[in-house]
Chain A
Amino acid sequence: MNEQAKMGLEADAKQQPDFSVLLFNVGENQNREAFANIFQHFAPRVKSYMLKLGGVDEIAEELAQQTLLQVWRKAQQFDPGKAAASTWIFRIARNIRIDVLRKQKHFFDDDFDMAEIEDEQEDAEVTINREQKNRYVAIALAELPQDQAQIIRMSFYDGLSHGEIAKQLEIPLGTVKSRIRLAFGRLRESLYLKSGEMA
C-alpha cells in the first residue's frame, strides 16, 4: 500500500469514534446514545456479513439486530484492555452465524474470555489500548498482497473453509494454506514491530 493510502487509513481511524470507549460506556452506564453510535456503524456491516449466509435480506437484518442486542446485553463483560471493540463484536456475530448456519455448537466462550483465568505472564504491551494496536493490524492488513488479502477475506468474512476457498479459486489447498500462513506472518510481524516502536 502506498503512503497516501496508509495516511488515508490513519485519518479514517481518527475520524471514527473510539468504539472501545463507546462500548465501555454501554457496559458501565447502559448509555443508549453510545449504543446508538455503535449500532449505526456496526449493524449495517454485521448485516452484510450475515448476508453471506445465503442472501436473504430479512434474515440478515434480523441477525444483525440480534447481534447488536447481544452487544448491549454483554457489554458489561467487555474489557478494553483485552480486546478491541471490533474484535469483540466480531466474536458475537461469528458465534451467532455459526449457531444459525450449522445448528452447530460453536465452542467459543460466551463470556468472551473476559472471565478467563489470567494468563501467567501478561506482558506490558497488554496495557496499551487494543484499539491502538488494532490500527497497526489494519494497516498491515491493507498492505497485504492482493492474493493473500483475498483469501483472508474469504475465510474471515465470507466464512468459507480452506477447502471451499481452494475450490472457488481453483488453486490447490496447499496454496491456500501457505498464503494464509504468509499473511498471518506479516500481520504478526507488523504488530510486533509497531508495538516495539511504541514501547
Chain B
Amino acid sequence: MSIHHHLSDTTLGAFTAGTLIESISLVVASHISLCPDCRKRRDQLENIGGLQLLHAEPEGMSADALQKVMIKLGKQDQPLASHSTNDSIPSLFEGPTSPVGKPDIPQPLRAYVPDRLEDVEWKSMAPGIKYFAISGLETSGGTLSLLKIAPGVNIPEHGHQGIELTQVLKGSFSDEIGRFGVGDIADLDSDIEHQPIADTNEACICLIATEAPLKFAGLMPRLVQYFSGM
C-alpha cells in the first residue's frame, strides 16, 4: 500500500495533545495504524508534550506520596497485561489479532464494525450512496460512519464547519484535491469545498468523521435534495 495523502499537522498535533473528540480520534488512529510517515510525525509532535511536562512548574506532592507508591510497587512486579486501564480498547499496533476476516479494516476500527466489510448492514442514503452509522463513540454533534459510494457516483459538492476526515478502506475516489486510494486520508479544513467521486469500477468504502454538522442543512438532507432534484 502506498499512501499519498496524509494528516495535517494541526490534526496530528491535536491528536497527540489528546484534545480531539473520539470520532475524529478514531479516524486519525486508523490512518496512523497504516501510515509509517504519520506515525513518525506523531512521534515528533509527542516530544513537545514530553518537554512541556519535563519543564512544567512542579506542584507539591504530599509528603508520603513516594512512599505510598513504593509500597504498591512490590505487589505489582509481574508484567501486566497490555490493556491495563481500558480493557476494551484494541491496541493500535499489536498486529493482526484474527487470522481471518478484517483485512480491509484498520486495527482501531475493528471493535466498531462487522468482521468483514461484506457483512456491513448498509442503509441507503441516496441512489448509489449507502452508509453505516458507527455508534458507541462521542461525536459532539458531528458524524461518524462508513460510506459506500457506487462506481461513478459523486457526492454533491459541500463545505463543512470543522474538521472532516475521510479514510479510504476500499476502492478509491477523486475530488478537486486529488486521487485517494486505500489508506489515504482526506483531512479537510472548514473552508474547503469538494465533490468526491468514486472513480473506478469498484465501490469505494470510506470511514468518515465530521466535527460539526455540514454546512447548510447537513449532508443527508442535502443529498436527498440533490438526488431527488435529478
- B59-67, B176-184, B192-200, B214-222: which lies at the A interface? B59-67
Q: What are 6 sample pairs from A and B whose C-beta atoms fall under 8 A apart?
A: A42-B53, A45-B56, A70-B85, A109-B93, A115-B94, A164-B19
**A-B residue pairs, 5 tightest by C-beta:** A44-B58, A87-B50, A86-B50, A48-B59, A107-B29
Q: How far is the CB of B160 from chain A (nearest CB, A)?
A: 13
A residues with a Cβ closer than 8 A to B are 30, 32, 35-36, 39-40, 42-49, 51, 60-61, 64-65, 68-70, 72-74, 76, 82-91, 93-99, 102, 104-111, 113, 115-117, 119-121, 133-134, 137-138, 141, 152-153, 155-157, 159-164, 173, 177, 180-181, 184-185, 187-188, 191
- Asked if A161 meets B84 with Cβ closer than 8 Å, knowing A86-B50, A152-B48, the reply is no
- Asked if A107 meets B108 with Cβ closer than 8 Å, knowing A32-B70, A83-B43, the reply is yes
| Cβ A44 vs Cβ B93 within 8 A | no
Contacts of B157 in A (CB 8 A): none
Q: How far is the CA of A78 from the CA of B22 in the complex (A)?
A: 27
| Cβ B138 vs Cβ A73 within 8 A | no
Residue in contact with B10 in the complex, picked from A91, A107, A180, CB distance below 8 Å: A180
Q: Is B100 an interface residue (CB 8 A)?
A: no
| Cβ A117 vs Cβ B95 within 8 A | yes
Q: How far is the CA of A90 from the CA of B47 in the complex (A)?
A: 8
| Cβ B61 vs Cβ A47 within 8 A | yes
**Which residues 89-141 of B have a CB within 8 angstroms of A?**
89, 91-95, 108, 137-138
B residues with a Cβ closer than 8 A to A are 9-10, 13-14, 16-20, 22, 25-26, 28-29, 36, 39-40, 43-62, 65-66, 68-70, 72-73, 76-77, 79-80, 82-86, 88-89, 91-95, 108, 137-138, 162, 189-190
Contacts of A47 in B (CB 8 A): 58-59, 61
Contacts of B53 in A (CB 8 A): 42, 45-46, 49, 86, 89-90, 93, 157
Residue in contact with A51 in the complex, picked from B40, B46, B59, CB distance below 8 Å: B59
Q: How far is the CA of A89 from the CA of B50 in the complex (A)?
A: 7
